[in-house]
Amino acid sequence: MKEASSLCKLGFDIDKGAGFFCQVPSPVHDGELIVLQPCERLTKVSVIGAGNVGMAIVQTILTQGLADEIALVDAEADRVRGKMLDLQHAATFLPRVRIVAGTDVLALTRSSDLALITVPRETAAASRMDQLRRNVALLREVVPTVAEGSPESLLLVVSNPVDVLAYAAWKLSGFPSSRVIGSGTDLDSARLRCLLAEHLGVGAQDVQAYMVSEHGDGALALWSSVRVGGMPVLSYLQKTHSLFDAEALEGIRRAVVGGAGEVIGLKGYTSWAIGYSAASLARSLLRDQRRVYPVSVLSKGFVPGNAHEVFLSLPARLGRRGVLG
């Protein structure tokens, strides 16, 4: 059976279809031909890793119209081709996007504006550090190749342990630290906002709350900065809830930190929430929206007085040039 991803593979002449529409002639002014300038270069996003997280990111970026071309790279050729075809068959319902897929990292990701790096999914039994050796080895294979073909791109690491892997990606890429970002505690912060919003009966988008430090068991909640509609929340909760003490706050923090483990234990993996988180980060980066997110950044120089080269999750302003401060 012939592959049906395009009519040319079914024996149709590829040049014949181009004549369906007549070419619009170039305009002439005062007897001189006006040369039409080419369109501005389109936005290209590459996603390395076609697992559950990678595909959730692709699907969210597609539906939000954040890219003109998406390159999907995975080690399993048949699987990634099947996922590409599945997405292409949804073209009628989506903005016009060119989708390519395969195993060749350099060829597929060349000239990317943003490359998102995901690796095999985590399991409930594996700690973040258990994944470190395996995932750093994968980054050694992928990151230098992406950097070679897309020397001006932004790198967004969405793999665990994300703070450590963002540091590794920075070193392996040779990029300025401002162009290498980890998804960090953005999803942890979203989980905290979700819990608070449900308790207070407001929309999660109206809650401002940050988890910082590391994406993992050591994540910290910035309780004093929690706001709803610009109003401080902590003092209100402590006045209206007699048991809302330090122990209660720690219980909420543990629930947030354990959120991923609970989801993995129930459905086997996390995907949708991190997909939306990554797409939101991509939007701010690609559209230069300069929104503030708690993401993994190089803390040296970012935090006054910190001379250590480590990546930590801190509130950072994200725009087209990466981390803007």
Catalytic residue list: 215
**49 labelled binding-site residue:** yes
Whether 54 has a binding-site annotation, put simply, is yes
Residue 53 annotated as part of some ligand binding site: yes
String of DSSP letters for 118-146: --SPP-TT--TTTTHHHHHHHHHHHHHHH
The token pair at 170 is 């920075």
Residue 136 marked ligand-binding: no
Q: Residue 128, annotated ligand binder?
A: yes
159 is in an annotated binding site: yes
Determine the Cα–Cα distance for residues 49 and 135; give it in Å rounded to an integer. Answer: 12
Confirm or deny that 306 is annotated as ligand binding. Answer: no
Closest CA to 66 of 154, 142, 150: 154
**What's the CA gap between 210 and 151, in Å, rounded?**
32
157 is in an annotated binding site: no
CB atoms inside a 10 Å sphere around CB 131 = 20
Q: Does the annotation list 6 as a binding residue?
A: no
307 in Cβ contact with 293 (< 8 Å): no
The response to whether 160 counts as a known ligand-binding position is yes
Q: Which two tokens stand for residue 33?
A: 């031909």
SS3 content of the chain, % helix, strand, coil (to 5): 40, 20, 40
Cite the DSSP H helix spans in the chain.
52-63, 77-88, 105-109, 132-149, 162-173, 186-200, 234-240, 246-257, 259-267, 272-286
The verdict on whether residue 174 carries a ligand-binding annotation is no
Give the annotated binding-site residues.
Answer: 49-54, 74, 121, 128, 135, 158-160, 191
Give the annotated binding-site residues for substrate.
Answer: 121, 128, 160, 191
Give the annotated binding-site residues for NAD(+).
Answer: 49-54, 74, 135, 158-160
